[in-house]
Amino acid sequence: MLKKISIYIIILCSLKLYSIAFLPEFLVKVTEWIGIGMILALLVIYMVYQGEKQIKKHFTLPVLLIFLAVFLSMIGSNVFQDQSIPITAYAQRAIYYYLIYFLLHYMKPEGKFIVKTILIFAVVYMGIYYLQSIVYPMELTTSKMFIDRGTLRIFMDGSGYLVIAFYIWLYLTFRNYSFKYLLALFLSMGVFVLLGTRQVLAVILLITILFILQSRVVKAKALLFLLMGIALIPIFFLFESIILSMFEVTRTQSQNLEGGIRLEAAKFFLQRFIPNELAHITGNGSPGSSIYGLRLARYSEEYGYYLSDIGLIGEYVKYGIIYVLAVGMIFFRVFRRKLPENLMFIKYNFLGMLLTLVTGGGAFGSSSENIILICFLLYLIDLYVDGKDPYLNDESKSIEPQFVKGRPVMSEGI
């Protein structure tokens, strides 16, 4: 129980307690560091007192390479951008959450617990999002929010849990034909629409289609596509103003420079911003409270060039080529691994990350929330490969895997 509570607390710290409005501002600001401190303290305790054999870690090298890249970027920021090492170390604090990958192998939580934890935090995120949408302009969270594209867009930590939960519920809906999972799908889709993010909606719909095409639990695929088309009609009318606003934004951006702002930002940072060849290796570090940070803020305000808008390219500018190689290794090792269909949500999530690799916020180093989720998924793969598939020992019918001649159904899709 203590292990589970510790993981819950670390997750809440990575989410900055959802920036709940009634919490003291100071507490919200220090929560990320509290989570990092807990991970370090628990790692030391387990390393000293636990002598049990760990399951094999298949992602140790890329994770260590990420730490190496981040270390070099601190030197790069000091040498090339005149930003002190302590300021850079503070600015890149989210990266330190990769340590939880090693902690999980000491704590050895069951895979079933990890999956249910993802679902729990997805439900909490949905609940807060809908409640905030209802009571607005009263603020339940201090997260950034504003009216745009016909909806209240709330940029609150925790959306990553909902994306993964969507893929899990998608499988469970067709595996068990349960109304509660279907309801969860519609509620989560409602949040994605309310977010007003075209990129997220496009990826979710594309992966849903891919799931239907390649999944063995889905029967009568042609009929299902017809029913989906019919179901989209009331959904369109329910969120008509939001959907039409997103189409209008797309049309407007396609007619002016704004539509190519990410491309312009990528060209600027790759061709004009990086000071020399060595900086391509070391990176320039995460911007903090320094002249370097102020200069990047000016680029954002005057030209609309944000490192956070160009995904892995932005992370390459900050952390260098070693970081990019590490990310590539993670993708390669995830996609080459055969997984049972009840664990395919892992590959679906990484596929979504791949599709938005240079247009998203940079999932591998942008936030502690995303990093913890990545480590959860990598740990689940390690657990499965070691013969401890989280579903195999679960007697619950709702998450029991399919078997063919006594063996789990293997999916070779993606």
* Residues 6 or more apart in contact with residue 278 via CB below 8 angstroms: 76, 80
Residue matched to tokens 């629409």: 193
Residue at token pair 């790759």: 270
b/e burial code for range 49-79 (CB count within 10 A of at least 16 → b): eeeeeebebbbeebbebbbebbbbbbebbbb
* Amino acid present at 235: I
DSSP 408: E
Predicted TM-score (pTM) of this structure: 0.86
Residue 251 has pLDDT above 60, yes or no: no
Cα-based distances in Å from 21 to 130, 138, 294: 16, 10, 28
| Predicted local confidence at residue 234, as pLDDT | 59
The whole-number average pLDDT for the span 29-50 is 91
pLDDT digits over 102-148, tens only?
999 999 998 889 999 999 999 999 999 999 989 988 889 888 887 87
Assess whether pLDDT exceeds 80 at residue 249: no
For the chain, what is the mean pLDDT?
A: 83
- What per-residue confidence (pLDDT) applies to 12? 95
Q: Supply the DSSP string of 181-211, one letter for each residue.
A: HHHHHHHHHHHHHHHT-HHHHHHHHHHHHHH
Q: Which helix (H) or strand (E) holds 260?
A: none
Cα–Cα dist 311/355, whole Å: 11
Q: What is the pLDDT of residue 395?
A: 38
Query: 82 is written with which tokens?
Result: 């005149």
Percent of residues, the chain, with pLDDT higher than 70: 82
Residue 413 has a pLDDT of 41
Query: Could you tell me the pLDDT band of residue 221, with boundaries at 50, 70 and 90?
Result: low
Using CA atoms in the order 352, 358, 361, 362, what is the torsion angle rounded to 10 degrees?
80
Q: pLDDT at residue 34 above 80?
A: yes
What lies within 8 Å, CB to CB, of 135 at 6+ separation is none
* Structure-model confidence comparison of residues 259 and 307, the more confident one: 307
Task: Please compute Rg for the chain using Cα positions.
Answer: 22
Number of CB atoms found within 10 A of residue 226's CB = 11
Helices (H), 110-239: 111-135, 159-176, 179-195, 198-214, 221-238
pLDDT given for residue 50 in this prediction: 76
pLDDT of res. 255: 46
Other C-beta atoms closer than 10 Å to the C-beta of 343 total 25
CA distances (Å), origin 143, targets 25, 104, 181, 262, 368: 12, 29, 28, 24, 16
Query: In this structure, which long-range contacts are made by residues 290-295, counting pairs with CB atoms below 8 Å and at least 24 apart in sequence?
Result: 290/81, 290/82, 290/83, 290/84, 290/87, 291/81, 291/82, 291/83, 292/77, 292/81, 292/82, 292/83, 293/83, 293/91
**pLDDT tens per residue across span 53-96:** 788 899 999 999 999 999 999 999 999 999 999 999 999 999 99
pLDDT of residue 400: 42
Give me the amino acid identity at 370: N
- In angstroms, the Cα distances linking 382 to 93, 100, 285, 376 are 26, 14, 31, 10
Give me the amino acid identity at 207: I
Q: pLDDT tens across 349-406, in order?
A: 999 999 888 877 666 777 888 999 999 999 999 999 887 655 544 434 444 444 333 4
Question: pLDDT-based confidence at 315, cuts 50/70/90?
Answer: very high
Label residue 308 by pLDDT band (50, 70, 90).
confident
197/237: higher pLDDT: 197
Q: Do 221 and 212 contact (CB within 8 A), yes or no?
A: yes
String of DSSP letters for 342-399: GGHHHHHHHHHHHHTTTTSS-TTTS-HHHHHHHHHHHHHHHHHHTT--TTTT---GGG
